[in-house]
Structure 1
């Protein structure tokens, strides 16, 4: 099969397109999927540098979420049949024509859902839905501040927060990105390159925000946390800004606030049934038009490295997908 392989750790420009990669075979509890498209996510830029918590042996293909068609079933797999269209999580391996996925991390795609959309919804929307529902217990009428609000998980948080009945304040680095967040449901917007984030948020929410969704970290974490209200929940999603921030612990103390970690991948592994319930809710939101995942670009498999570079250079809004069946 054709696959875009990381043969040595390094930049995305070093990925190699190979046409003789072996087709993997499903083991017990696994399914083999012919890939239609793979969704691009921030961990893809970490795993090729060997900076992610999952460390596959070389060589491997990046790509941790996908849509496609089931072509083989491993021992003991039930609930799937050959020819089923599915979305799946794999941590890596999806920048290829075929991949093996655990059946517990594979979700049937409802009729009428475009496979490109299905490739783009699982990780970003799954992370944001789990964060806002299980970790933050976001309630209707609460105020949600989303940092990095035009990126994959950030834009998903804007959509899902609005669908859950929250007032959503979207913060991003350009007016163009904020316009996208506004189009996807944000009530208020803040450009944190031209305005002081803490001052701007406090002007919009004098009593403080209830939930902060932070996939950026770095220099935004401290001013963002200082806008939290009594009993607020600060969701630690990731550190796309580069540096892992250090927050003074007197801040959560005086606000009775919580710093809440969100490790969605482990949530899926530990509670697969709850993950499937969440995915059913997301597909219902999609069918009702309450969420509309933005796919801003599509790359052929041979240009998967270029897709990762664009994400690393912060040139991506919403989601980008890599089409496994297109090599040029």
Structure 2
């Protein structure tokens, strides 16, 4: 097997393509032949030791995979060789094979391509948990999505529309705005790369204007940094501010705004929720597969890289160049 390994903390250029022995399953384990792996923002942090989870080295990044079961260990009853599955593994996915516990894998519909399956659970799972479980989103509400052209942001647009909401997509360029309109956003706005105090005030005013002066009911913040405060200032009474991620930095929020607006700041830690509420996760996953089957959601894959060039895929996410999802494929390895 081949794997792209992080052998020392660093950027994408520090990853090394390595040949390793094929894994064999032990009791209560399965081995997958990986066909595709989704690339997600935690991958960019994990290889630099900046993520809350720090796997022992060497490790392969890539926590979202799809492929076929090739062998099963003693005691495995729910899977058999040939089963098509996706899995959330945390890391290890930038490889041609991986050994894992059956509990991390889910069978996928025959009609679902491996690339879609590898781009599905992390983004849609995060955004559905955020909008359904944490925001309790209702039809007709206004949702502002910051970082709307990225993986979780684009998933949030599709899901919010499927849930009957009005979506304002906030992005950093016109091509990203066009992408968001193409996938269903009702309105878009382009924010500057750098925000001084005056630019923050202007951004808040623009959001309110798009929301017809009433403010937005839900903010889905996958950006953080200097964008957080103007988004919070644009909220309607009783709004819910979803803290999803902060690639632009961890913001400092004036808490008096939550009092003045009667709003909530709500943390979204989907990975922890999966372990704390497995029944809820199973139910959400079933609903997401139904939405996929009906065509209401579909992973927006904008770039594909072979395993030999997977470092470029991580670099694309680091530079915030990706539209929708980026996928690493193993077909040629």
| TM-score normalised by L of structure 2 | 0.94
Contact 2:26 2:73 in 1 (8 A): yes
- Report the alpha carbon displacement of residue 277 of structure 1 after superposing the two structures with TM: 1.8
- Report the alpha carbon displacement of residue 231 of structure 1 after superposing the two structures with TM: 1.2
CA–CA distance in structure 2, aligned partners of residues 122 and 81 of structure 1: 22
| CA deviation map 1:116-158 (0-9, x unaligned) | 1111111011110111111111111111100011000000000
CA–CA distance in structure 2, aligned partners of residues 294 and 226 of structure 1: 31
Within-5 A mapping of 1:241-280? 241=248, 243-280=249-286
Q: 2:22 maps to what in 1? A: 23
Q: 2:308 maps to what in 1? A: 302
Contact 1:300 1:326 in 2 (8 A): yes
Paired residue for 1:225, among 232, 247, 263?
232
- Report the alpha carbon displacement of residue 269 of structure 1 after superposing the two structures with TM: 1.9
- Report the alpha carbon displacement of residue 78 of structure 1 after superposing the two structures with TM: 3.6
| CA deviation map 1:23-79 (0-9, x unaligned) | 344455543211000000000000000111111101000000010111233454443
Q: 1:313 maps to what in 2? A: 319
Contact 2:69 2:81 in 1 (8 A): yes
Q: 1:11 maps to what in 2? A: 11
* Range 192-201 or range 51-60, more displaced: 192-201
Q: 1:215 maps to what in 2? A: 222
Paired residue for 2:208, among 188, 202, 206?
202
- Report the alpha carbon displacement of residue 268 of structure 1 after superposing the two structures with TM: 1.5
| CA deviation map 1:150-190 (0-9, x unaligned) | 00000000000000110011000011101111111101111
Contact 1:190 1:197 in 2 (8 A): no
Structure 1 residues 75 and 132: CA distance shift in structure 2, 3 A: farther
CA–CA distance in structure 1, aligned partners of residues 320 and 180 of structure 2: 16
Structure 1 residues 234 and 75: CA distance shift in structure 2, 3 A: farther
Structure 1, unaligned runs of 5 or more:
none
Contact 1:212 1:228 in 2 (8 A): yes
Structure 1 residues 28 and 127: CA distance shift in structure 2, 3 A: farther
| TM-score normalised by L of structure 1 | 0.95
Q: Give aligned pairs, total.
A: 325
Q: 1:192 maps to what in 2? A: 191
CA–CA distance in structure 1, aligned partners of residues 31 and 190 of structure 2: 44
Q: 1:53 maps to what in 2? A: 52
* Range 68-77 or range 49-58, more displaced: 68-77
Within-5 A mapping of 1:1-328? 1-19=1-19, 21-26=20-25, 29-193=28-192, 196-205=202-211, 206-241=213-248, 243-327=249-333
CA–CA distance in structure 2, aligned partners of residues 225 and 78 of structure 1: 49
CA–CA distance in structure 1, aligned partners of residues 275 and 29 of structure 2: 14
- Report the alpha carbon displacement of residue 290 of structure 1 after superposing the two structures with TM: 0.6
| CA deviation map 1:81-139 (0-9, x unaligned) | 22110111001000001113332332111121111111111101111011111111111
CA–CA distance in structure 1, aligned partners of residues 221 and 7 of structure 2: 32
Pairwise CA RMSD: 1.5
SS at match of 1:326: coil
* Range 123-132 or range 79-88, more displaced: 79-88
Contact 1:143 1:167 in 2 (8 A): yes
